[in-house]
Amino acid sequence: MQRISIDVAIVNFRDVADTLQTLRHLGNWPHGTVWVVDNSAHEVDIADSTADLQKACDISPWVQRLTPDINLGFGRACNLAFSKSSATFFLLLNPDARISTDDVVLLAHTLAEQPRLGAVSPKIFWNDQHSFVLPVAFPQTPCYSMAMALATYSRDATRWTASFYLKRAVRQMASGHRFSTGFLAGAVMMLRRTAVLSAGGLFDPDYFMFFEDSDLCQRLRRAGYALAIVPAACAVHEYRHKAYKAGLMSQSQRKYFRKQYPVFYRLSNQLAGLATLTRPVDPAKWFRVLPRPVTSAAEFAEYTGGASVMAFSPSWLMMPAIFRPSFAEARCFDEPEWALLEPATYVALVDSDNSTLSPNWVYFERAA
């Protein structure tokens, strides 16, 4: 394989421990520059942590730390790194995501061999044990938004659709073969530089955080480039559902639909119509509800009779959902998996010989 240039962008915001771990995982980067945009460099209350980050950068000549005067947000921070880079390929990497050099090179060579591919992502596991896989980025289109709202009208139809979605996701990831997709998540995404420039640049600076990757994917496809998942390459992203970010996500969603689908945005009354169309769901009528907030994996196993967890999601629709690499090898949550779950409510698809667990959709609260 010929040598190709690959730069990496990592955006740090008050997350030095994860950023340092990600840098260690990359090792001595031989393919270009690792750009660390430190969005918290200006914050005096964490000066000791940022000093640790600077020390790590100083002893690694392939790492360049960029220190904006303000918190630029994710999109504009990535734009800053991209403006400094001239590499053929550009990897976006969250500070809580990890990928090996070999897997990065595999992604780059996939792009090099397929000139109409604009961006690719690997199979992304949720944890270091590779016991759960993160879903492919969900389509952000009017059709899917309407479908999600209408799903509230039929429990059985929603379950059938979610089961089909999950089985297809497991099959695609297990195949090892590259497959096309309409959207990729910016947590671990490799981009072709010329494709980004053809699409008008990296991220729209109007997005502070969230939906900037969906916007970019739309522009790449309109510029004639395809997007793909490469399951032969693997990464880990310890995604944690943060309920407090819902407001910012909703704000970015409105910006995205106003820009990409202006007619739908107006007809839906700035997306408020989707909320009106969505029926309220009574968890007790849709799921088996566990009796009280659950404090541990052992307690979850006790309540469910040791049921095997095949998938789970903070969305009661189970779309998108985090799923086992193989349903046949599913088992109950263990304590390391439980520790990654943020306190919130979830729906889990479980399988058990316990007849009292029918139907196999469990609604539970992960206690703080």
Check whether residue 21 and residue 72 sit in a common domain.
Answer: yes
Can you name the residues that pair with 7 across neighbouring β-strands? 90
Look at the pTM and tell me if it is higher than 0.75.
yes
Q: What is the mean pLDDT of each run of 10 residues along the chain (368 residues)?
A: 86 94 93 96 80 92 95 97 98 96 96 97 97 94 93 92 92 94 97 98 96 98 98 94 80 96 95 92 93 96 93 92 93 96 94 57 95
Structure tokens at 355: 């007849």
Check whether residue 186 and residue 334 sit in a common domain.
Answer: no
Check whether residue 111 and residue 224 sit in a common domain.
Answer: yes
99 in a structural domain: yes
Contacts of 126 (CB under 8 A, 6+ apart): 132, 133, 134, 236, 237, 238, 239, 322, 340
Check whether residue 214 and residue 314 sit in a common domain.
Answer: no
333 in a structural domain: yes
Check whether residue 56 and residue 199 sit in a common domain.
Answer: yes
Can you name the residues that pair with 234 across neighbouring β-strands? 123
- Is 183:220 a contact under the CB 8 Å cutoff? no
Check whether residue 309 and residue 214 sit in a common domain.
Answer: no
Q: Any idea what the CATH number is for the domain that residue 12 is in?
A: 3.90.550.10
Check whether residue 32 and residue 111 sit in a common domain.
Answer: yes
Check whether residue 131 and residue 217 sit in a common domain.
Answer: yes
142 in a structural domain: no
pLDDT at 47 (0 to 100): 74
Burial class (CB in 10 A: 0-12, 13-18, 19+), 310: buried
Cα–Cα distance, 303 to 153 (Å, whole number): 29
Contacts of 336 (CB under 8 A, 6+ apart): 127, 129
Q: Looking at the 3D structure of the chain, how many domains does it have?
A: 2
Structure tokens at 127: 């944890």
DSSP 245: G
359 in a structural domain: yes
186 in a structural domain: yes
What is the extent of the structural domain holding 49? 6-137+182-240
Check whether residue 76 and residue 201 sit in a common domain.
Answer: yes
pLDDT at 352 (0 to 100): 63
75 in a structural domain: yes
Check whether residue 47 and residue 106 sit in a common domain.
Answer: yes
Q: Determine the residue type at 200.
A: G
Check whether residue 127 and residue 202 sit in a common domain.
Answer: yes
Cα–Cα distance, 194 to 54 (Å, whole number): 31
300 in a structural domain: yes
271 in a structural domain: no
Distances (CA, A) of 21 to 15, 56, 94, 188: 10, 11, 11, 15
Check whether residue 229 and residue 99 sit in a common domain.
Answer: yes
Distances (CA, A) of 213 to 35, 78, 184, 203, 259: 19, 11, 7, 7, 14
Cα–Cα distance, 276 to 147 (Å, whole number): 14
